[in-house]
Amino acid sequence: MEQFLIGIKLMLTWHNLLFALLGVAVGIVVGSIPGLTVTMAIALMVPLTFQMDPIPAIAMLLGVYKGGMFGGSISAILINAPGTPAASATVLDGAPMAQKGQALKALKMALYSSVTADTLSDIVLILVAPPLARLALRFGPPEIFSLVVFSLTIIAAVSGKSLIKGLVAATLGVLFATVGMDPVAGTSRFTFGYVEMLKGIGLLPMLIGLFAVSEILVRVEAPLKETLGKFLFKDSDRPEDRRVSWAEYRRCLRTILRGTALGTFLGAIPGIGSTITAFLNYGMAQRASKHPERFGKGELEGVAAAESGNSAVCGATLIPLLSLGIPGDIVTAVLLGAFMIQGIAPGPTMFHEHGKVIYALFVGLMVCNLGNLLLGSVSVRAAKGVLRIPQRVLYPIILLLCFVGTYAIDNSLFDVQAMFFFGILGYVMRKFDYPLAPLLIAFVLGPMLENSLRQALIMSEGHPAIFVTRPISLGFLILTALTIILIVVRLIKRQRQPQGAS
Amino acid sequence: MRNYDRIIAAVLFAFSVVLYFFIIPWAIEGAGQGGTGLTPDFMPRWIAITLGVLSAILFIVAKPTHQQVKLFPQRVLVTIALFVAYIALAPLVGYLISSMVIMAAYLLHFGVRKPLTLAVLSLGLPVVLYLFFAKVMLVVLPQGILLQ
């Protein structure tokens, strides 16, 4: 509690608040643009945080994350196209509501349910992360190795259509992580004579390449549109179409709370993202509703279900990052990189060494939620303006930002070359349905995987049995095996069924 | 009907074999020396084996699809070529000029034809970015060796 008060004091300065709000505003606007993902926004914002102190830097990035989550729903509602994948479920009822003249009502419901779910999820994070970190402090190298293997398997399994492609992507990620100086022997690996490669492949060049450049390359394949989106909504003058009444909020509260529980629980498991959660909660809300037939035709509760489901993930996804040092999705992988740049290694020891920073961040999360609520309605107007920008103008701007943003990390053109290499790799992987998230997360976890494996083998003098004789490690390995068996069994079942039955 | 997955699996399998037998011994300093789990090539070898096994499984289970995947259509190729030119040009003529040239080229390539839009964006954006990164963030942007 005392630390919490110190955290409040650390976070609540005008300077920090300004950066947090700036982050939220950028997130909302970028999130509202179809094709520009939250990840892209964060990737391009990280280079700007290098010279900042840890607290405003991380607060700003969290702001982008949270703002982006809401921003995605703006275009979902106004132009019938989700600004981010996570807002796909919001389209189902948000767009029909906008066509009925209830655009503002839908937006406000999206905002309120987002902020409610997000805030509750953050509270769970604050309660759960510290004890979990204390437990994780007792993990030795074998436990850490098995935990990373388990996390990577889940991420590979849920991020794409095919488990095997996800695993291939993850393996490539670990391979890229071995480039550079060997952590134990200090010799060079896969540097091919380039001095620049000794320090390894940078996380940010890889990130910007995989998630910004490759996105643009895929996008320019299709004919470019004059504007980012056409407004399909009608604006009604009736006041009840422009606001959410307390009674309506109360009616949806059950759905919002269900979304919060679902999102928080699933968000804490590495790999399960907000898109899945939004659809799951939407389905559950429809089944629980007295009027399931209204869903998909502009039901307020549908918007609440989707938005609470996807936003509740935001807080919970930080649980494995802060307490175990394991990023569960791309955004947390980037945050991990941002922490590292600031000289802070997320994980169980962080609560000891940087306790104040963590509690300041907890306060920062709340500030960002408030910021969302404050800026949400203003940003809708800004986003409307942004959506008028033609694609053919927006894409060159982003490509120039990718160049200068990557260069700025280390004043290095080599990084820009690496970034572009990953842009092309990402493009090819997207074309053949290989998920990018496992590659990035495996790349981030690669050193942890290798170090724990080697340390464990040194402990056991080379006997691999150490991984199955220690109970926690064995537990994680059994869970890994169960995950794979479950997926393979489901796959075989699906193949036996006649086509079209899936 | 083409079986893209099988082709890629074959490529990945070949890569893992080359990685294990040629690249690892050649590109890892101290490969093959030392004791239990300590050698620098220990992890890369396991990665190569994992990749080999995974691509073999993918090869077996891969199914042909009706979808045609067209890699690198012309507009993507030009987009890539312009970026490569950007990387090559920046150290020669400096950040500002290379950015202006490439921005204009991108806008034209994507079909912007209005002279005012072209001028404002390709001259203005690099200047704004330059001022922000060079003067506020204090990044040493490429100066250009030809112009000094």
What would the pLDDT profile of A316-343 be if each residue is shown by its tens digit?
Answer: 888 999 888 888 888 888 888 888 888 8
All residues of chain B having their beta carbon less than 8 Å from the beta carbon of residue A407 are: 139, 141-142
Q: In this prediction, does ipTM exceed 0.95?
A: no
Share of chain B above pLDDT 70, in %: 93
A429 lies in some domain: yes
Give the range of the structural domain holding residue A305, as residue numbers without chain letter.
2-495
A485 lies in some domain: yes
| Helix (H) / strand (E) containing A188 | strand A188-189
Q: Are B60 and A198 in contact (CB under 8 A)?
A: no
- What is the reported pLDDT for B33? 60
Kindly state the DSSP code that residue B135 receives in the 8-state scheme: I
By Cβ distance, the residue of A164, A413, A450 closest to B58 is A164
Q: How far apart are CA A117 and CA A124, in angstroms?
A: 11
Examine the domain organization and report whether B57 and B88 are in the same domain.
Answer: no
Q: How far apart are CA B9 and CA B61, in angstroms?
A: 10
- What is the reported pLDDT for A221? 87
- What is the reported pLDDT for A498? 55
A207 lies in some domain: yes
Residue A499 has pLDDT above 60, yes or no: no
Q: How far apart are CA A209 and CA A386, in angstroms?
A: 24
Examine the domain organization and report whether B81 and B131 are in the same domain.
Answer: yes
Question: Percent helix, strand and coil across chain A, each rounded to 5?
Answer: 75, 0, 25
> How many Å lie between the alpha carbon of B140 and the closest alpha carbon of chain A?
6
B69 lies in some domain: no
Instruction: Nearest chain B residue to A389 by CA: give it.
Output: B117
Residue among A214, A205, A398, A408 at smallest CA distance from B90: A408
- What is the reported pLDDT for A500? 45
Give the total number of structural domains in chain A: 1
pLDDT tier at A227, thresholds 50, 70, 90: low
Altogether, the residues listed in chain B come to a count of 148
Query: Is the sign of the CA dihedral A304, A307, A313, A316 positive or negative?
Result: negative
By Cβ distance, the residue of B38, B61, B103 closest to A396 is B103
B140 exposure class (CB count in 10 Å sphere: 0-12, 13-18, 19+): exposed
Residue B11 has pLDDT above 90, yes or no: yes
- What is the reported pLDDT for A255? 92
Residue among A337, A354, A351 at smallest CA distance from A132: A351
- What is the reported pLDDT for A478? 94
Q: Which of residues 417-476 of A touch B (CB under 8 A)?
A: 417, 420, 423-424, 427-428, 431-432, 449-450, 453-454, 456-458, 461-462
B67 lies in some domain: no
> How many Å lie between the alpha carbon of B60 and the closest alpha carbon of chain A?
11
What are the pLDDT digits (tens) for B34-87? 555 568 888 899 999 999 999 999 999 888 887 788 888 999 999 999 999 999
All residues of chain B having their beta carbon less than 8 Å from the beta carbon of residue A449 are: 43
B148 lies in some domain: no
Share of chain A above pLDDT 90, in %: 24
- What is the reported pLDDT for A232? 58
A449 lies in some domain: yes
3-class DSSP assignment, residue B28: strand
φ/ψ of A383, rounded to 5, equals: -65, -35
All residues of chain B having their beta carbon less than 8 Å from the beta carbon of residue A456 are: 37
Examine the domain organization and report whether B79 and B127 are in the same domain.
Answer: yes
- What is the reported pLDDT for B139? 84
Q: How far apart are CA A330 and CA A339, in angstroms?
A: 14
- What is the reported pLDDT for B105? 96
Q: Are A360 and A55 in contact (CB under 8 A)?
A: yes
Reading the block at residue A491, the tokens are: 């796959």
Number of A to B CB contacts under 8 A, please give it.
Answer: 159
Task: Name which of A147-156, A184-193, A206-215, B8-17 the model is least confident about.
Answer: A184-193
Q: How far apart are CA A331 and CA A275, in angstroms?
A: 14
What are the pLDDT digits (tens) for A273-319? 788 888 889 988 988 888 888 888 888 999 999 999 988 988 888 89
Last residue of a domain, one of B61, B84, B105: B61
A76 lies in some domain: yes
Instruction: Give the CA distances from residue A357 to residues A2, A43, A364, in Å, rounded to whole numbers and listed in that order.
Output: 13, 22, 10
Cα A368 to the chain's mean position, in Å? 16
By Cβ distance, the residue of A408, A417, A423 closest to B139 is A408
Examine the domain organization and report whether B35 and B13 are in the same domain.
Answer: yes
Within 8 A by CB and 6+ apart from A347, the residues are: A133, A136, A322, A323, A324, A325
Contact assignment for A413 to B91 by CB distance below 8 Å: yes
**pLDDT winner (highest mean) among A33-37, A225-229, B87-91:** B87-91
A501 lies in some domain: no
Task: Name which of A115-129, A451-465, B84-98 the model is least confident about.
Answer: A451-465
All residues of chain B having their beta carbon less than 8 Å from the beta carbon of residue A416 are: 87
Residue A264 amino acid letter: T
A500 lies in some domain: no
> How many Å lie between the alpha carbon of B130 and the closest alpha carbon of chain A?
9
Altogether, the residues listed in chain A come to a count of 502
- What is the reported pLDDT for A426? 95
Contact assignment for A396 to B141 by CB distance below 8 Å: no
B53 lies in some domain: yes
Give the range of the structural domain holding residue B38, as residue numbers without chain letter.
4-61
Residue B32 has pLDDT above 70, yes or no: no
Examine the domain organization and report whether B50 and B83 are in the same domain.
Answer: no
- What is the reported pLDDT for B58? 92
A321 lies in some domain: yes
- What is the reported pLDDT for A1? 66
B122 exposure class (CB count in 10 Å sphere: 0-12, 13-18, 19+): buried
Contact assignment for A397 to B141 by CB distance below 8 Å: no
Contact assignment for A168 to B80 by CB distance below 8 Å: no
- What is the reported pLDDT for A502? 37
Q: Are A392 and A234 in contact (CB under 8 A)?
A: no
Is residue A486 within 8 angstroms of chain B, CB to CB?
no
Share of chain B above pLDDT 90, in %: 54
Q: How far apart are CA A36 and CA A311, in angstroms?
A: 18
Instruction: Nearest chain A residue to B38 by CA: give it.
Output: A454
Examine the domain organization and report whether B117 and B84 are in the same domain.
Answer: yes
> How many Å lie between the alpha carbon of B147 and the closest alpha carbon of chain A?
18
Share of chain A above pLDDT 70, in %: 95
Contact assignment for A450 to B43 by CB distance below 8 Å: yes
Four-CA torsion A87, A90, A96, A99, nearest 10 degrees: -50
What are the pLDDT digits (tens) for A181-209? 887 777 888 888 788 888 889 888 998 89
Examine the domain organization and report whether B12 and B56 are in the same domain.
Answer: yes
B145 lies in some domain: no
B143 lies in some domain: no
Instruction: Nearest chain B residue to A192 by CA: give it.
Output: B27
Examine the domain organization and report whether B48 and B80 are in the same domain.
Answer: no
Contact assignment for A424 to B80 by CB distance below 8 Å: yes
pLDDT tier at A168, thresholds 50, 70, 90: very high
Kindly state the DSSP code that residue B65 receives in the 8-state scheme: B
Q: How far apart are CA B20 and CA B45, in angstroms?
A: 6
Residue B117 has pLDDT above 80, yes or no: yes
> How many Å lie between the alpha carbon of B103 and the closest alpha carbon of chain A?
6
Residue A256 has pLDDT above 60, yes or no: yes
- What is the reported pLDDT for A361? 86
Which of A407, A411, A459 has the highest number of chain B CBs within 10 A, making it the mutation to test binding with B? A407
Residue among A197, A194, A152, A136 at smallest CA distance from A484: A152
Give the total number of structural domains in chain B: 2
All residues of chain B having their beta carbon less than 8 Å from the beta carbon of residue A174 are: 43, 47
